[in-house]
A and B are shown apart, each in its own frame.
Chain A
Amino acid sequence: MRIRPNAVVMTIYLLFLLIPIYWLIGMSLKTNTEITGAFTLWPQDLTFRNYRVILTDPSWYMGYVNSMIYVTMNVVITITVALPAAYAFSRYSFMGDKHLFFWLLTNRMAPPAVFALPFFQLYSAMNLIDTHIAVALAHCLFNVPLAVWILEGFMRGVPKEIDETAYIDGYSFPKFFVKIFMPLIASGIGVAAFFCFMFSWVELLLSRTLTTTDAKPIAAVMTRTVSASGMDWGVLAAAGVLTIVPGALVIYFVRNYIAKGFALGRV
């Protein structure tokens, strides 16, 4: 059998991507004595203690719950407000539309570090600190422009005749939008939701700034493993592995749409 150079390149690249992840998974299954004591390529003394620590301690697993709650809230809010706006941008020209669109995009490019402090003060003044909704709203800063951008691209691909036919058939705008239009751009909504999920899930700076205990995301909880008795590497690794799981699941479900979403070049 001839070995194709393509396959070699891809294998090397995928190994490069996966080995650090493998190392994390391997470490999460080792005991701390093994991690710091002996250098082993795979767990000699397989243990699930690290996962047990996380799954039985509310201060750990609530981190995942909190992250899930605000990410879900963010995706729902973002898609809800972005849908009509994207429709407006794709179908109508109106006063200031181009400037508005550009202004929205600049928010996608705003460094979160710039916003961390003012967000903290704004939400403190409104008594929203340490609530899920605060983080969800803060993440709208970069997710709403992104969602509008992606959805607009998908909506532009739907012929305008469909709208017109529906109106002639006596559909009202809301009914047309929900019953006819949304099913047509379902994959677009999926892609937009995927990217909103992704950026909200991975963001840490804002979510850490805006929460203290009750809504603390898992990514921030992870910093706890540094304690007086030294680093609890095993638990840290297990927590890391568990943060990869939701992302991996989401990718798996949208795998057929990813390429299409990227094809629009609107990430």
Chain B
Amino acid sequence: MEKTQNNKAWFLVLPVLVLVAFSAILPLMTVVNYAFNDTFGNNQFFWAGIEWFDDMIHSERLRAALGRQVIFSLIILAIEVPLGIFIALNMPKKGFWASFCLVLMALPLLIPFNVVGTIWQIFGRVDIGLLGHTLAAMGVDYNYTNDPLDAWITVIVMDVWHWTSLVALLAYAGLQSIPQAYYQAARIDQATRWSVFRYIELPKMKGVLLIAVLLRFMDSFMIYTEPFVVTGGGPGNSTTFLSIDLAKMATGQFDLGPAAAFSIMYFLVILLISWVFYTVMTNLDRAESGEENR
């Protein structure tokens, strides 16, 4: 749509600006303050320069957490995106069953994060959980509190349980927007199921899928509550992801300087990713509207 040039529109944006400035810029400034200073309480600060950043970049602990985080996010994407698409393709198109599936699938998304953790903590326990008990009965040696691999599997299955629906719902919405005529043309051409998917459905879902991938990437990149409840970051440090490590450092040990430096680097990584996200998306928008104008 053609937009009017009007700088007075700033007045309409002002409330948002004030509110977000209060809840984002002010706290961020505090973080920056801590990141470059050393403090012994009493509001006395000593300039520390980039010492904390230096510490953090060379910290084994941070590197390990970052490595685990990246692996975790990639596994999540590799499972949830194809599975989500697959589910969306199999969903009923309309009528009672479509809303039925929608409502049930949205259910995990509305459960508080720590309750998701609690559900899986209980579900996976060997003594009282259905999953743990069944596996034990089948002779599988499964114990997520002792075995790092089992802990990883539990956390990943939990995330798949929690968030695949989001990908599926996004993909489903993308599929819904494909006009029937496309399918009819494909039928006349006697296209196989695979080529319908490859040349009609996939390109049409590109926009929503991109959003799904980036949302899942970012949200899994800052995952905190669910693994914290299930494994507490353990056994050992095997499921300590970035946010868990950060929260331990900041609110557990009160290592404010390193934690703040960590926060800033963490935030910059996210900022970089969201910039890529935003750029790709606006380009995509432009490409699409360009096609329509032709």
A residues near B (Cβ < 8 Å) are: 5-6, 9-10, 13-14, 16-21, 23-24, 27, 35-36, 39, 41, 77, 80-82, 84-85, 87-95, 97, 100, 102, 104-107, 109-119, 121-122, 137-138, 140-141, 144-145, 148, 156, 160, 198, 201-205, 209, 218-219, 222-223, 233, 236-237, 240, 243-244, 247-248, 250-252, 255-256, 258-260, 262-267
Contacts and interface: CB of A to CB of B under 8 A. Distances in A.
A18 B222 contact: no
B24 A107 contact: yes
Nearest to B211: A265
A114 B215 contact: no
B5 A92 contact: yes
Contacts of B256: 117
A35 B123 CA distance: 12
B27 A115 contact: yes
Interface string B49-79: 0000000000000000000000000000000
Nearest to A247: B110
Interface in B114-133: 114-115, 118-120, 122-123, 127-131, 133
Q: Chain B interface: which size bin?
A: 35 or more
B104 A111 contact: no
Interface string B14-39: 01110110111011101100000000
Contacts of A87: 12
B92 A10 contact: yes
Given A17-B161, A91-B9, A114 B31 contact: yes
Contacts of B207: 265
A219 B271 CA distance: 29
A251 B107 contact: yes
Interface stretch (B138-146, B184-192, B195-203, B273-281): B273-281
Contacts of B131: 20
A120 to B, nearest CB: 8
A9 B87 contact: yes
A263 B91 CA distance: 15
B102 interface: yes
Nearest to B243: A113
Interface string B191-221: 0000000000000000110010001001001
A198 to B, nearest CB: 6
A94 B27 contact: no
B16 A243 contact: no
A104 B20 contact: yes
Contact of A109 (B4, B176, B218): B218
A255 B102 contact: yes
Interface string B241-266: 01110110011000010011001001
B16 A82 contact: yes
A154 to B, nearest CB: 13
B278 A105 contact: yes
* Chain B at the A interface: SS class: helix
19 contacts: A14-B104, A35-B128, A39-B128, A81-B16, A87-B12, A88-B12, A91-B3, A91-B4, A92-B4, A102-B278, A114-B263, A117-B31, A140-B19, A202-B113, A205-B247, A223-B114, A244-B111, A256-B99, A265-B211
Given A92-B5, A244-B111, A255 B99 contact: yes
Contact of B122 (A80, A198, A237): A237
A205 B118 contact: no
A112 B222 contact: yes
Which of B24, B224, B247 counts the most chain A CB atoms within 10 A? B24
Contacts of A148: 16
A258 B169 contact: yes
B278 A110 contact: no
B271 A93 contact: no
B16 A240 contact: no
Contact of A144 (B16, B110, B225, B263): B16
A121 B110 contact: no
Given A24-B119, A93-B4, A263 B176 contact: yes
A261 B270 CA distance: 25
Given A140-B19, A259-B102, A262-B173, A84 B115 contact: no
Given A115-B27, A118-B28, A202-B112, A258 B90 contact: no
A151 to B, nearest CB: 11
Contacts of B15: 80-81, 84-85
A205 B9 CA distance: 35
A71 to B, nearest CB: 11
A259 B176 contact: yes
B22 A222 contact: no
Given A17-B161, A204-B225, 19 more contacts: A6-B91, A20-B120, A20-B123, A21-B107, A93-B3, A93-B6, A111-B243, A113-B222, A113-B263, A115-B24, A117-B256, A203-B113, A204-B112, A204-B113, A222-B118, A255-B99, A259-B172, A263-B174, A265-B174
